[in-house]
Structures are given as structure tokens and as C-alpha cells.
Structure 1
Amino acid sequence: MLPRLDSRFVDYYNENLANRPGTHQVPLKEVRSSPGAFARAWALNGDSAPDPNVREWRVPVAESSKPITVRTYYPDTSKWGLGPYPVHINFHGGGWVFGDLGSDAAICLRLRERVPIVIIDVEYRLCPEARFGLNAQDAWSALKWTRDNAEKLDINPLSISIGGISAGAHLACILQHRARDEGISLRLLVASVPPLADHHTYRVPEYSPWPSFTEFSKVPLLDWERMSYFQKHVFPDEGMAELQKMVPEWWISPLKAPNWTNLCSTFVATAECDMLRDEGEAYAKRLVEGGNKVTMRRYLKVPHSFMHMHSVLPQARQYEDDVISALINAHGIKRE
């Protein structure tokens, strides 16, 4: 893989990630007891200086007496003026097993600094402690809570977009279809390196119909070993029959969604050296075939989580510029 990867990524990986075990290589109990010790190099913990424009809220969710936490990032009023603002709801990645409000914090901070928009980051429940499907319900609860509390949040309920990275993008894709079905208007979906196929049916990478799945099964950050770990904890063989009775099939594989018409505008970001590349691009194609507005970019010579490497990869900076352009266009924000 070395000749196919950007040398700047290779250097970053060797310096920051190569000598640390992946979370899938550590007993889950250890990760849960000390998540910060195993977090990716780009994750931001709660030790940074207090920010008066960042706040946490509790959101009630289905099948739980304990609410989930969402974090709001507000633009600087001295720079952007007063609200109500457009709002973008974000769902972090981590294979539905890992991740928290630190995972995408750096990206959320940069977005609210560059665009007059409120970012809401959602800490949905993780598998296997919570079965798959409850994470999608949490995402839906966060969307409805945002819409229903527009005045308190100082946001425009008619200018909502959603998005996520990896597993979070998968949840956002579910919401794109569900919002259309239940009459909630969305301005934009940002789906970045999304997993969208029924990976639980693959016993080896070659079982996948997507060439990228086999071609990049040994690439750093998301390889077959890590994908297998997620399937074991999210879609275990012994629990699939019961799970398939509890959630729609297309929640597990959004590429199987039954209706592709009248969906919100979408920006799809894929990475050239990513197992999930082809299924993300297939999702974009299905949207186009359904008559929807779609923008897609494949970022070259980078693997799955490239967008977090903002300081070293021009592809990550280009990704951020592209997301900002998509948000500005979708929400009708005036450019500076």
C-alpha cells in the first residue's frame, strides 16, 4: 500500500499511530474504563480552556431513563452577528462501538469559526451495551429535539442539516430517509466515508461485491481486522435473527432503502484508499438516479479517517473547504 498512500499520511501514521494499539486490539472493558487513553491522536478531551460558546444539553431518548448528551458550538456573535442561526447536527464515527464528544470536536470548532452556523454534536449510545438501532433512535431524537427547541437554541428550525463521519454518516443516511418520510425538512446531508452495505454477511473481504473492500483490506486505520471486530460487536451472528426483527433491513444497510426520491441535497466524501469507498459512491449514484441533488468528491491517496489530519494533509483541508461550501450553499449563507 505504501506507493498508493500520500507520504505525508505515512509519516503522520508512523509518528502518531503505528506504535499504539487500535481500540479493536484492546479488551473492550479497558477501553470503556479509560477511553481517553485509547482515543485517536486527533480527539479533543475536556481539558481545554472553557469556551463560553460551547454548551452541553441532555436529550431524552427511547428505551432509556438516561438521556444522551449533545454539545452545541455557537459562532462568535462579535464576528457573525446575532441569531437565529442555521444548524448542522453531527454524528461521530467509531464503528458504533467507539467515539464520544471528543472525536469530532476539532472539526466542530473549526466549522463554527468559519461559518455562522450552530454545530450540534451528538453522543449517541454505543454498541454492544446498547443494541444496534438504538443509536439510530438517538440520532432521530436529537434531530427532533433540535427542531422542537429552536427558540431556546437560537436556531432556525427551517434550516437544519445533518452529517457524520464513518458510522456517524451511516446514522445520518438513515435520518435523511426517515426525515423525508416523516415530513421534517432538511437542507443537506454530509456523508463522509460512510459504511452502507450489509458487511455482516461477509466472512472474508472477497465476499464483498465492492472492489475497494478487497483492494484496501489491509490499509491502516480501517482494515479487515477492525471491520470484523465491529461486526462481531454490532451485528453478531448469534443475534442477527432477533435484530432483523427489531429494525428495518435498510437501517443495517442504507443502500437497501426502498425509496430514493425527494431526499435532501447531499455531499458525499470518499477516500481513495478506503475499504468503504465504493459503497459510498454507490449511495451517491442511487441518489442521483432518484432525482436528487448530489455533490461527491473522492480524496486521493488517503485512507478512511483522513479528514481528521487537518494539520498535515491538504486533502483534509480541501475536505473542510468542501463541507463549508456545501453548508453555505444549502443554508443560503452569504459568503464573506
Structure 2
Amino acid sequence: MVIAGELDPDLAAFLSKAGPAASLSGETSVEAFRARFARRPAGTPETVASVHDVAASGVNLRVYDPQPANPGKGALLFFHGGGFIIGDLEQQDGFCRLLANRVGIVVVSVDYRLAPEHPYPAAIEDGWSALGWLSDNARQLGVDPARLAVGGTSAGASLAAALCLVSRDRGGPSIAFQLLPYPATDLRPGAWPETSDTLNPVLPRETAEWFASLYLSGGDPAQAYASPLVAADLSRLPPAFILTAEFDPLRDEAEAYGARLRSAGVEVSVKRYTGMTHMFLSFAAAVPAAARAIDDIVNALRAAIVQPAAAPSDARAQPR
């Protein structure tokens, strides 16, 4: 990774003020990480017409539907981030509400099992169960089964990418689109480059490696579902939108994954956000460039899985 330029001024100011609250570094145990990120967002969540929790084969899901009376909507199966070891349905509740309202789709958030208690491939199998549930219940949810997308952030994007491979390999439900903001696509030792702590204050390489070791728990990091970048065959996968951040140790592997998808004949758009760090979408309330990236996500989802006649709300919220 070549470090050049500087952090976006708005992001730098925000990170300086937020301190440890905006960083995935600084803890030495799973329990400490979970305690630190267990806080619930303040304020009133954005209203969505219908929000309810369900269980699918033991996996808890939260379903957001902005237009319960309208059939034929698209749907996004969403996986939260958190290094495979932290996070739950509350972590990005606000982001799921935003996407449901602004895009005009059903969003199904997956409360997958976390490592190290449930190492690879438990989270992927939970995603497989959730995808099957969404496909089986699409018509009941007012969803067009041909308009199913998967996505997530960071570790959640890694799970979404892996799920596309799993569904292709197992002959599962058709996936129309994959949304991959700063995904981890290569968990092999040494995959992440050295980066400056000044320019990469959110996700140091050592923290990323620790997350991966807990998730794999001795499993082979060169397996395709663990590290999609090294999969032998990336053909016949859904179109993808991959977002990367300039100062993120996951940047190069995510962009390499986009290049490999393109070489395999998959339609893919890769966009690097200059001056940004890992997890930057979560800072959109204070960082205009991050808010613009959310606009890009909304537009990509609309283009991929929304019928032309749809009229989504312009209500806004921030991911958390």
C-alpha cells in the first residue's frame, strides 16, 4: 500500500474529537471490545413503516419494510461489521433504516453468530440460512425474488461476498447484486500492509490480524469462503459495488477482488474514497464526504434492485 496525501480535514477533526470511540484499536480482549461497543445509539431512530424481528433456523433477523402494501420490491440481506467478533442487530439499525427508506426496499439484517465462540464458517452458514428464509418468504414480504441483494460493511461485506460464492456453488437462490463497503477478502497471514497510525487510526493492521485469527480459530485462511480473493473461480457471481477507503489496510485486497471479479466477467464498480479510513460510513453525520458515499450506495442499490416506478423516501439517518 502506498501512503500518500492526507486525511480528509473533516474526518481528521472528527477522529481527533471522538478519540477511542471511533477506533477499533486499543483493546486486548474480546470482552473489552464487546463492552466498549455495546452502547446503544442515542436519540430516536428513524421511523420505518414496518420493523419486526423473526427467527430463521435459529438465526435472528430484523426486517425493515418502508412500503408494506407495495409488492414487487427489492430486498437487501445485510450483515453488520465488527471484525467477526462484535456487533448485533442494534449496531447498524440506523443504517438499515436509512437504506430501507431512501432506497425503497426491504432490508433484512442478520444477527449472525460471532467468533471466537462460533468460528468460521458459522457466520456464513447463518447467512445461508437467512438467504434461504428471505427467498422462501419473498412473496409474503412483498419482495420480487429476482431482486435480492446481499451486502454489509467490513467483516459483514466479507460474509456477503462469501455468501455469493456459497449460493452459486450450492445452487441456491439467485442474488442480483452485492454491496461491499471495505470488505475483508484475504485473511491469509501477511495480507495487510504496514500503515501509519496517523493515517490509519481506525483499524491498525495488528487489530485486523487479531480479528482474523479469532474468526478462523485455526481454520485454513486460504479457503475460498474465508478469503474470497483467493477463490479459484469467481465467474457467475452477481454484479458488485465495492467501496474502499484510501487509508485502510483492507484497501488493496478489496480493489484486487474487484479486479479479479472483472477479469472473471462479473460486472463490478470499484470506488476509492480519498482521505477516508476504515469504517468511514459510520461518521457521515460529521463528514460530508462519507455522507456522499452513502448517496453512492443508495444510488447503486436503486439502479440494481429497484423497479423504475418505485418512489423511495428521502428521509435520512446515519449508520451505526
Report the TM-score, using the length of structure 1 for normalisation: 0.82
One-letter amino acid of the counterpart of residue 57, structure 1: V
- Which residue matches 1:125? 113
Query: What is the SS of the residue equivalent to 2:109?
Result: strand
Cα root mean square deviation, aligned: 2.7
| Residues 74 and 306 in structure 2, CA contact (< 8 A), matched pair in contact too | no
Residue 228 (structure 1) aligns with: 209
Structure 2, unmatched stretches of 5+, are 312-320
Contact 1:306–1:315 under 8 Å retained in 2: no
Aligned AA for 1:15?
K
Matches within 5 A, 1:192-207: 192-199=181-188, 201-202=189-190
Q: Does 1:59 align with 2:39?
A: no
Deviations 1:180-220 (A, max 9, x none): 23142111001110111133x23xxxxx4x6xx22356611
| Residue identity in the other structure for 1:112 | A
Aligned length: 306
TM-superposed deviation, 1:145: 0.7
Shift of 1:58: 0.8
Aligned pair in 2 of structure 1 residues 285, 31: CA closer, same or farther (>3 Å)? closer
Whether the aligned pair in 2 keeps the contact of 1:216 and 1:275 (CA below 8 Å) is: no
With a CA cutoff of 8 Å and minimum separation of 6, indicate the structure with the bigger relative contact order.
2
C-alpha distance 315-20 of structure 1, shift in aligned 2 (>3 A): closer
User: Which has the larger share of helix?
Assistant: 1
Q: CA deviation at 1:13?
A: 1.3
User: How many angstroms does 1:152 deviate by?
Assistant: 2.9
1:71 aligns with 2:70: no
Is contact 2:7-2:276 (8 Å) kept? yes
**TM-score normalised by L of structure 2:** 0.86
Indicate the residue corresponding to 2:41 in structure 1.
44
Please name the residue that 1:214 is paired with: 194
Q: Which runs of 5+ in 1 are unaligned?
A: 61-66, 203-207
Give % identity. 30
The equivalent of 1:18 in structure 2 is 20
CA distance in 2, matches of 1:192, 1:49: 22
Tell whether 2:253 aligns with 1:279. yes
1:24 to 1:123, Cα distance in 2 relative to 1, 3 A: farther
Work out whether residues 169 and 194 of structure 1, in 8 Å CA contact, stay in contact via their aligned partners in 2.
yes
Distance 1:131 1:183, change over 3 A: closer
In structure 2, relative to structure 1, the CA distance for the partners of 1:70 and 1:313 (3 Å cut) is same
CA offsets per residue over residues 45-95 of structure 1, 9 Å max, x none?
7985886511111111xxxxxx12111111146xxx622421011101111
- Which residue is equivalent to 1:8? 10
Counterpart of 1:320 in structure 2 is 294
Deviation at 1:44, TM superposition (A): 3.5
Residue 232 of structure 1 and its aligned partner are, at CA, apart by 3.6
Decide whether the 8 Å contact of 1:217 with 1:224 is kept in 2: no
Q: In the alignment, which of 129, 139, 144 is matched to residue 141 of structure 1?
A: 129
Residue in structure 2 matched with residue 184 of structure 1 by the alignment: 173
